[in-house]
């Protein structure tokens, strides 16, 4: 029988200028710092504890200029391994226009539903543009 070990590796500690995420603007600031000026879409999950302190940030996928594939299992794998009580998902639009696409809204609904089943709240989906951002929670897109 093959033995398999699972390890959660802490890669680095970074200072994002916030200790606790209390608004979509805080999330956008952290995402912008993490994603930077990437020329491809990056889909990221921010894992939070019960008091919305940052547990971890994980890159779920790196896509192309116009799309990034993600699935709830990759998002919640990171959340479960970091003992997250809640998550914020986010990605960038290299075009600079942060308006959500139909696919963005669809995946947000899917992740929200999966989180409800797992008991991990989806607090928001933030899309980073240049220089603005779009909060799906603030705009009631899902």
CATH number (domain holding residue 108): 3.40.140.10
pLDDT score of 70: 87
**E strands along the chain, which residues?**
42-48, 54-62, 86-92, 121-128, 133-135
Radius of gyration of the chain (CA): 15
pTM of the model: 0.87
Q: 89 - beta bridge partners?
A: 45, 125
Instruction: Give the per-residue pLDDT at 95.
Output: 92
Q: 11 pLDDT exceeds 80?
A: no
Residue 107 lies in a domain: yes
For residue 137, tell me if it sits in a domain.
Answer: no
- Residue 6: the pLDDT is 46
* pLDDT tens string 81-125: 999 999 999 999 999 999 999 999 999 999 999 999 999 999 999
Q: Tell whether the model's pLDDT for residue 18 goes beyond 90.
A: no
Nearest to 108 by CA among 128, 126, 95: 126
Average pLDDT of 12-33?
Answer: 84
Residue 85 in any domain: the answer is: yes
- On whether residue 116 sits in a domain, the answer given is yes
pLDDT of residue 17: 64
- Mean pLDDT over 6-14 rounds to 55
Q: Tell me, what's the pLDDT at 4?
A: 45
pLDDT tens digits for 30-83?
A: 999 999 889 999 999 999 999 999 999 999 999 877 777 788 999 999 999 999
Asked if residue 33 is part of any domain, the answer here is yes
- Give the count of domains, the chain: 1
For 70, the domain range is 24-132
Residue 9 lies in a domain: no
Q: Is residue 3 part of a domain?
A: no
pLDDT at residue 3, rounded to an integer = 53
- Residue 19 confidence (pLDDT): 77
Q: Within a domain: residue 14?
A: no
């Amino acid at each position: 029988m093959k033995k398999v070990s699972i390890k959660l590796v802490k890669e680095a500690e970074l200072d994002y200028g916030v200790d606790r995420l209390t608004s979509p603007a805080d999330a956008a600031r952290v995402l912008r710092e993490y994603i930077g000026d990437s020329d491809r879409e990056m889909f990221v999950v921010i894992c939070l504890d019960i008091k919305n302190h940052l547990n971890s940030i994980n890159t779920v996928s790196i896509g192309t200029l116009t799309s990034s594939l993600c699935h709830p299992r990759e998002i919640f794998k990171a959340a479960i391994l970091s003992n997250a009580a809640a998550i914020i998902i986010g990605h960038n639009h290299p075009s600079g226009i942060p308006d959500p696409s139909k696919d963005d809204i669809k995946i947000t609904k899917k992740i929200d539903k999966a989180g409800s089943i797992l008991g991990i709240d989806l607090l928001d989906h933030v899309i980073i543009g240049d220089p603005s951002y779009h909060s799906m929670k603030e705009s009631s897109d899902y």
